[in-house]
Structure 1
Amino acid sequence: MRAVETQLVFKSSEAVMLKCVEGSQNLVSSLLPKLIDAIKNNKTTEAIKALEEARLRILEIIQDVDKMVQRYETLNKDVATTTSDIITEKKETEIALQRLSEEQQAIKDSIKKLEGQLNDTNAETEEIQRKIDVKNNQLQRAVRDLAAETQKMTIVAVFVPFIGPIIKAATESKFVPEATANIRRLEAELNGLHSLKASAKQRAWNLQVQLIDKRMSLAKIQTDLGIIPKPTYLQDVQIYLSKNQKVLTELKAFWNNVHSLLGVIKNKTFVGEDLINEPDLKEEFLKSMHTSSEIWGMFGVSCNKSVKIFQSQAKDAYKFLEINPTSLSTEEWQKQYDLVKNQLENLKVSGNLATSAIEK
């Protein structure tokens, strides 16, 4: 919005300068010669009419210039506000990035911790499984030893390949109670190991769920970090806005100078108007008109120089804001950066030229 407004102001400046050129040429080539001719021929009424027409033209130009001064003042304040907003945005962005970076690191630390716990739990599960395998072997040997004691138990062991029925059969047969007790002990220990394994697997699952949640949170933060523009770009925009603001300040001073100079020229143009009705003093009045004509001529030349400056500024002002820097490669970014710097340097020079042009 500021960029468009600036370009419009520069184009308006060009238009007002052209009006100054046109007004100066009109005064030099038409109105003042008409006034001088009327005085020479003692046509007081026509002289007064020409003088009033010149006054209206000059006042119209002064009013246009005054409006330009006000527009530059308003625009300059707006750009200053934008620059301030950029500074605030940059600080807020840096804080947001810092916060997200800290959150990202905290989540990464949590993920690392959870992964460690999961690895430990998986290792614990594998160790329990090894103990289960050992205990199973012990139990199977105990059952085979018990089954070998009698013909009946052997048959049960062959046809009923489950430990429970075998133990039941051994108990009912009243044979080798010590062996039966040992089998029951091994069975209890095996059940305990299975319980430990189930608990470890549940812990592993819970850790997996937590890891999924943390990794999703990490992905969201990384996405947020990718969306936030780098503060470097904001810092560069801030620098460019400040440079443009300096140009606007210089141009406002330029228009103030134009406004003041027009006031001086106006006063010099009409300094002898009271002499119109004094025939004896008409030579002095004519001399004053010739001087005014020369001044208006020089003013028109200066304004013509300024027109070209405003044409250049309207084309290049804030052009850097038309490009999204985050979409550029590093090489293209540097290329655009250097181009903008050169444009702004030229714009800065133009501002100085604009000020000096009217002073000359």
Structure 2
Amino acid sequence: MADSKEIVISGSTLSPDFIQELLPAVEQTALHYHLSFLCLGGFPQLERMIRDQALKTQMLFGSSEAVLLKCAGTSSNLVTSLFPILIKAVEKNKPKLAVIYLEKAKTWIEDIISAVDDMVKRYEQQTKSVKTCTSDVYEEQNQTEGKLKEHTVEMKALEDALAKLELELNKNVNDIEEIQEEIEKSTQELQDLIIKSAKSHSYLQVLFGYNRKYNNAAIRAKQAELTPLVHEMDSLRKQGWDIKNKQIDLQMKLAICNIQQGEIPSPVHLTEVQRCLDQIRKILVDLKNFWEKVSFTLETLKDKTFAGDKLIEDLKDMKEEFLNSIEDAKQYWQTFGAGCQRAQNIFSMQSRDAYKFLEINPSSLSQDERNKQYTSIMEKLKKINPQGLCKAAITE
């Protein structure tokens, strides 16, 4: 139907476009380490601390690459191995064949769950490590407080401007939280409507994703309710992104003033590193939960649908729907696998290329060289799209 809409929700299953949430945090991490290096690298002890944390994160990204590659491989195996067998089992009434492959698929997925769980713990530990590093910088600041020189008019103006931006950002964050609550409420209501209206068992919807077109009036009305909320969320995300970029610009100018006065600049960019690492951790938690639901669903399929003679009885009224769901699933999992592959490539590039700035001694940089690197970082930050951070996406 022309007025039907397609919806992808990441609240119950992981959206195939989850990479759009992952990308900004991954790219920003190295850029904020680089900014920290430019601001604090002129102090030898702080340089060593930042270098150590950046190298640990670089290694962590390398391990993340391997996990995402495993996810991509399993997605491909589901499409090329499991789904054809399920179709054959239904068409030929061979439940034992389906059970064998469902067990094999569960083994693949349990391996992924374990690997992702390990990554979640490692990101949590690295976030704590960067937080400790940030605290150490503040401690170093406190120890040098008595040596501070004149607080210039320029520095006071920069601090006042940053305080104003902080108020704007706080309001933006509160507005986003309010919209997010509305989106989550409407999304849950939409999920309930979809499951209620589905002809097949709800576990099929969990395995194959809410990626199908619906013409139910209540569902279309709920989708229409979600659309403006998502657009408003995108607008607020962009607004917040613009405020943060202005903050970074002023923070760098203030850091230059600090350095010229012999002061240690504030480690604000290390705080941003913490935020980025925690964002990646949260997405990995979503990824783990997603695979756990798929594992549960495969077990349900095995126990309830492919249990011997119950196959024909259970599928008598939903055989066509079941086969159509599997066909829909192929496209979903191909897209999801492509997203995992892209995420793997991003982690690969980041772990290989984004930390080359560590090869330079920051104390040897002239002010012109420092400004040139800063300009390059800002250009990269401005190119990052913040709109991928929204938790729901609706397309016409």
TM-score, L = length of structure 2 = 0.49
Q: Which moved more, 1:20-29 or 1:59-68?
A: 59-68
**Alignment partner, residue 150 of structure 1:** none
Look up the match of 1:262: 291
Q: Deviations for 1:297-336, whole angstroms, at most 9, x for unmatched residues? A: 3321221232233234324555555433322222122223
Q: Distance in 2 between matches of 1:5 and 1:93?
A: 28
**Counterpart in the other structure of 2:187:** none
Aligned partner of 2:241 in structure 1 is none
Q: Would you say 1:280 and 2:317 are equivalent positions?
A: no
Which residue is 2:265 aligned to?
235
SS state at 1:235 partner = coil
State which of 138, 142, 163 in structure 2 corresponds to 1:87.
138
| Conservation of the 8 A alpha-carbon contact between 1:32 and 1:54 | no
User: Which structure 1 segments of 5+ residues have no match?
Assistant: 100-228
Distance 1:46 1:4 in 2: 48
Correspondence for 1:57 among 102, 105, 108 = 108
The answer for the alignment partner of 2:339 in structure 1 is 302
TM-score normalised to structure 1 length: 0.54
Contact 2:148 2:261 in 1 (8 A): no
C-alpha separation between the residues in 2 aligned to 1:332 and 1:230? 16
Q: Hey, what does 2:71 align to over in structure 1?
A: 20
Contact kept, 8 Å, 1:11 with 1:310, in 2: the verdict is yes
Alpha-carbon shift at residue 241 of structure 1 (Å): 1.6
The whole-number CA distance in structure 2 between the counterparts of 1:344 and 1:333 is 17
Taking a change above 3 Å as real, the CA distance of residues 27 and 93 of structure 1, as seen in their structure-2 partners, is: same
Unaligned runs of 5+ in 2: 1-51, 150-258
- Give 1:48's aligned amino acid: V
Q: Is the 8 A contact 2:78 2:105 kept in 1?
A: yes
Map 1:31-70; keep pairs closer than 5 Å. Answer: 31-70=82-121
Q: Map 1:338-353; keep pairs closer than 5 Å.
A: 338-343=375-380, 349=384, 353=388
User: CA shift at 1:232, angstroms?
Assistant: 6.7
Structure 2 Cα separation of the partners of residues 6 and 54 of structure 1: 32
Other-structure match for 2:373? 336
Percent identity between the aligned chains? 35
Q: Counterpart of 1:12 in structure 2: which amino acid?
A: S
Shift of 1:25: 0.3
Closer, same or farther: CA 352–252 of 1 in aligned 2, 3 Å: farther
Compare the two structures and name the one with the higher helix fraction: 1
Alpha carbons of 1:269 and 1:10: their partners in 2 closer, same or farther (altered >3 Å)? same
Residue 265 of structure 2: SS of its match in structure 1? helix
Looking at structure 1, the residues matched to 111 and 393 of structure 2 have their Cα atoms a distance apart, in angstroms, of: 21
Segment of structure 1 superposing worse, 27-36 or 52-61: 27-36
After superposing on structure 2, the runs of 4+ consecutive aligned residues of structure 1 that deviate more than 6 Å are 229-233, 356-360
Q: Which amino acid aligns with 1:280?
A: E
Contact 1:3–1:317, Cα closer than 8 Å, also in 2: no
What code does the residue aligned with 1:300 have? G
The structure with the largest alpha-carbon Rg is 1
Please tell me whether residue 326 in structure 1 is matched to residue 373 in structure 2: no
Distance 1:343 1:311, change over 3 A: farther
Report if the CA contact (8 A) 2:54-2:355 is conserved. Answer: yes
Measure, in 1, the Cα distance between the counterparts of 2:364 and 2:130: 25
Verify the 8 A CA contact 1:299 1:358 in the aligned structure 2.
Answer: no
- State the partner residue of 1:313: 350
Distance (whole Å) between structure 1 residues aligned to residue 336 and residue 117 of structure 2: 17
